[in-house]
Amino acid sequence: MIQAFGLTSNPRKGLAPAVDDVSFEAHAGQVTALLGAADAGKTTALRLMLELQQGRGVTYFRGRPLHRIAHPSREVGVLLGDVPGHPARTVRGHLRMLCAAAGVPVRRADEVLEVVGLVSLRDERIGTLSLGMDRRLGLACALLADPHTLVLDEPAEGLTTRESHWLYGTLRAHAAQGGTVLFTTADPKEAACTADRVVTLDRGRLVADQHAADFARTRLRPRVAVRSPHAARLAALLTKEARTAHRSVEVVREGGNRLSVYGSSCADVGETAFRHGVLVHQLADETGDMGPGAGVSASPDTQRQSPEAPQPQESPAQQEHERQDEAQDQEQSQEPPAQQEPHNPQHPAPLTPLAASTSLPPPISVRPAPSPLRPLRYELRRATGISTLFLTGAAVLVVSVVTALVLARIGHTPQERLLAAWPRELPLPPAALGAGLLGALAFGDEFRHPALAADRGTVPRRLGLLAAKLLVAAATALVLAVLTVGCDAEVLYLFYGRELAEVPADWLPRGASWIGLVVGCAWAGVLAAGVFRSTTAGLAAVVCVPVLVVPLVQRLLEGPSVRAATGWPMRLREVLLSQWPFGGERYVAAAARMVAQPVGGALTLSLTALLCAYLFMTVRSRVR
């Protein structure tokens, strides 16, 4: 169950808090609706419960706050707005990435796709999905880790009546299996028909917490829903007869060919229509909202029928238009055929029948101990699931080859800079800039498309995730560095012969320095994007190392305050000589020489500062 106590958002300047001291409970085995108008604070309340927004109060999910749960995605399934996935990622690829993040088997993605009816769209991009398909994918993401609790914000907004029935049927099936369901809505009738309990918010405050039956009795009232091509004439007749019989009957035009009749019955309305020869297409008992005074504004096209002034009859053109609308409604209400046609990207796939869509994926058993490979699997799927990695790598190779050819044509470029395509006028070679960009995207995409939002904050501050990103960034940078030198050497040999493509004699220390530079730039991009929550900031931090930090380090090393440090690499080698048998001191000395270089020292200082900042933010978020 969910227990929310004293939820209060931080107030903005001159404004009252969006949520002020809200407390309620959502019990297991029931569907709870959080009802309110557009500015009632429903979404803010959910974000406070999920610890995605700063404020006061506490929320317990089966007795524990979210930050005390080891794997929040296995306890709470969340759908807030659109699916927070990269638009270029496929439906199946997005779910498989989340499978790796949640530590569930990869076959779980296919199971939830079958439940929500998206099997035929599994290879489609997220950015091409319609609103209804996006909602289905969002529910699939929420059900992926087999959570006990579902928290959804306006899940049926923009959906058709049929898709809304499917959605609420799935939520009802989840609650029937003992789960807890909490969703927000602005429609009182929808809340009364689909929920077991209704919690009403008004301007950030709790105004009612009722069972659905009590809510319907106090907030809603019965009405007769009528649809007729002669709605205006029937409304005038009903009003005239009610006035003659001194009965309290209210007729409301709902737009088009629909009427809502309050204070009457289906029998009375049907008899009136029969006596006057008015064709009726729909006649049903429903429950309607009490009106704008109850907290939900009326529709702009709603008009209340005046007893003294009957509405004029509709023109033949308007009646024909209403008949066409009715025909479209009847076509939409029909069930789709059992056999589906082959998928065509130009046309949307048919929906799953309602009878089969209310089932849930089978329960899964997940080991409580996290595996160290799960963050690595997630990062690999995240990096390779879109074409950004491959396009960036191809662009870096092309720019490096062109730059190497231009430098060879101009001449007066050292061999090591020629193979690395690093002109003296540029602070960093293209390979280092590309590695830094890919490293910045590793965390930058998490903030732009927060697929891990339910796991604690916008992006979880976990060292396992950081280690996976650093490892994948280092592997990508290593491949990029080797391919850059290899491609440059082959192209130089092809155009200018063996002389410019020869490898220097001291290739080992220079190669280690080159790889260290590219990998260090990639790590700087990862750490800076994680600290500053932006891809642009991550790339800027990479460029700042040679532009700002290197001159600062050179100035410090040349100052009189560091004269005592002269010759410290040799002394370091003498100290560590006895501790590294079999010639291991050579590698230590090579690393010391690399760090002693201005770029290496500046990069080391930058990485150390960014890593300390990231660790500080991690510890701070856990303590808070």
Structure confidence by residue, pLDDT tens digits, 229-281:
999 999 999 999 988 888 888 888 887 788 988 888 899 999 999 999 999 99
- Mean pLDDT of all residues belonging to the chain: 78
pLDDT at position 320: 47
55-61 sheet: strands from edge to edge: 22-26, 2-9, 55-61
Instruction: Tell me the angle at which helices 507-532 and 535-544 cross, rounded to the nearest 10 degrees.
Output: 140
Out of 52-61, 97-106, 352-361, 500-509, least confident range: 352-361
Reported as a single tens digit per residue, the pLDDT across 98-116 is: 888 888 888 899 999 998 9
* C-alpha dihedral sign at 115, 120, 124, 128: negative
Which of 551, 539, 561 has the alpha carbon at shortest distance from 601?
551
Task: Give Dmax (Cα) for the chain.
Answer: 112
Burial class of 416 by CB neighbour count within 10 A (0 to 12, 13 to 18, 19+): middle
- Give the total residue count for the chain: 624
pLDDT at position 484: 94
Which residue do the tokens 């990435």 mark? Answer: 97
Mean pLDDT across the stretch 192-208?
A: 92
Structure confidence at residue 396 as a pLDDT band (50, 70, 90): very high
Tokens representing 310? 């009957």
Tokens representing 238? 């009903």
Tokens representing 610? 């960014």
Mean pLDDT across the stretch 22-34?
A: 95
Q: Does pLDDT of 622 surpass 80? A: no
* Alpha-carbon gap, residue 22 to 8, rounded angstroms: 7
* Alpha-carbon gap, residue 191 to 164, rounded angstroms: 12
Q: Does pLDDT of 330 surpass 80? A: no
pLDDT at position 620: 61
Q: Does pLDDT of 324 surpass 70? A: no
Structure confidence at residue 316 as a pLDDT band (50, 70, 90): very low
Distances (CA, A) of 535 to 444, 525, 573: 4, 8, 39
Structure confidence at residue 307 as a pLDDT band (50, 70, 90): very low
Q: Is 288 helix (H, G, I), strand (E, B) or coil?
A: strand
Q: Is 613 helix (H, G, I), strand (E, B) or coil?
A: helix
Q: Does pLDDT of 297 surpass 70? A: no
**Phi, psi torsion values for 44, nearest 5 degrees:** -65, -40
Q: Are 269 and 283 in contact (CB under 8 A)?
A: yes
Mean pLDDT across the stretch 163-181?
A: 92
Which residue do the tokens 């927060």 mark? Answer: 450
Q: Are 256 and 305 in contact (CB under 8 A)?
A: no
Question: Cβ of 58: how many Cβ atoms within 10 Å?
Answer: 14
pLDDT at position 237: 92
- In which element (H, E) is residue 251 found? strand 250-253
* Alpha-carbon gap, residue 547 to 556, rounded angstroms: 15
Helix and strand numbers, DSSP H then E, in the chain? 24, 14
DSSP 564: G
Which of 118, 115, 111, 148 has the alpha carbon at shortest distance from 28?
148
Reported as a single tens digit per residue, the pLDDT across 131-144 is: 889 889 999 999 98
Instruction: Give me the percent of the chain exceeding a pLDDT of 90.
Output: 33
Q: Are 294 and 219 in contact (CB under 8 A)?
A: yes
Mean pLDDT across the stretch 455-468?
A: 66
Q: What is the CA radius of gyration of the chain?
A: 33
Task: Note the Cα 595 to chain centre separation in Å.
Answer: 40
Antiparallel, parallel or unpaired: β 31-35 and 197-202: parallel
Which of 485, 483, 479, 558 has the alpha carbon at shortest distance from 519?
479
* Alpha-carbon gap, residue 41 to 48, rounded angstroms: 10
Which of 408, 406, 397, 423 has the alpha carbon at shortest distance from 487?
397
Q: Does pLDDT of 344 surpass 80? A: no
**Phi, psi torsion values for 295, nearest 5 degrees:** 120, -10
Mean pLDDT across the stretch 5-25?
A: 90
* Alpha-carbon gap, residue 397 to 421, rounded angstroms: 10
- In which element (H, E) is residue 12 found? none
Question: Cβ of 322: how many Cβ atoms within 10 Å?
Answer: 20
Which of 579, 597, 440, 454 has the alpha carbon at shortest distance from 523?
440
Using alpha carbons only, what angle is made at residue 359 by residues 358 and 362, rounded to the nearest 5 degrees? 155
Instruction: Considering only residues 604 and 498, tell me which one the structure prediction assigns the higher pLDDT.
Output: 498
Structure confidence at residue 125 as a pLDDT band (50, 70, 90): very high
Q: Is 282 helix (H, G, I), strand (E, B) or coil?
A: strand
> How would DSSP label each residue in 39-85?
TSSHHHHHHHHTT-S-EEEEEEETTB-GGG-S-HHHHEEEEESS--S
pLDDT at position 300: 31
Q: Is 349 helix (H, G, I), strand (E, B) or coil?
A: coil
Q: Are 240 and 198 in contact (CB under 8 A)?
A: no
Which of 200, 223, 194 has the alpha carbon at shortest distance from 294?
200
Instruction: Considering only residues 170 and 555, tell me which one the structure prediction assigns the higher pLDDT.
Output: 170
Q: Does pLDDT of 451 surpass 80? A: no
pLDDT at position 93: 93
* Alpha-carbon gap, residue 407 to 2, rounded angstroms: 66
Which of 518, 508, 513 has the alpha carbon at shortest distance from 475?
518
Instruction: Give alpha helix (H) positions in 144-258.
Output: 161-176, 188-194, 212-219, 231-244
Show the domains of the chain with their CATH numbers. 2-218 (3.40.50.300), 220-316 (3.30.70), 374-623 (no CATH)
pLDDT at position 326: 45
Instruction: Give alpha helix (H) positions in 297-414.
Output: 316-333, 354-357, 373-384, 388-410
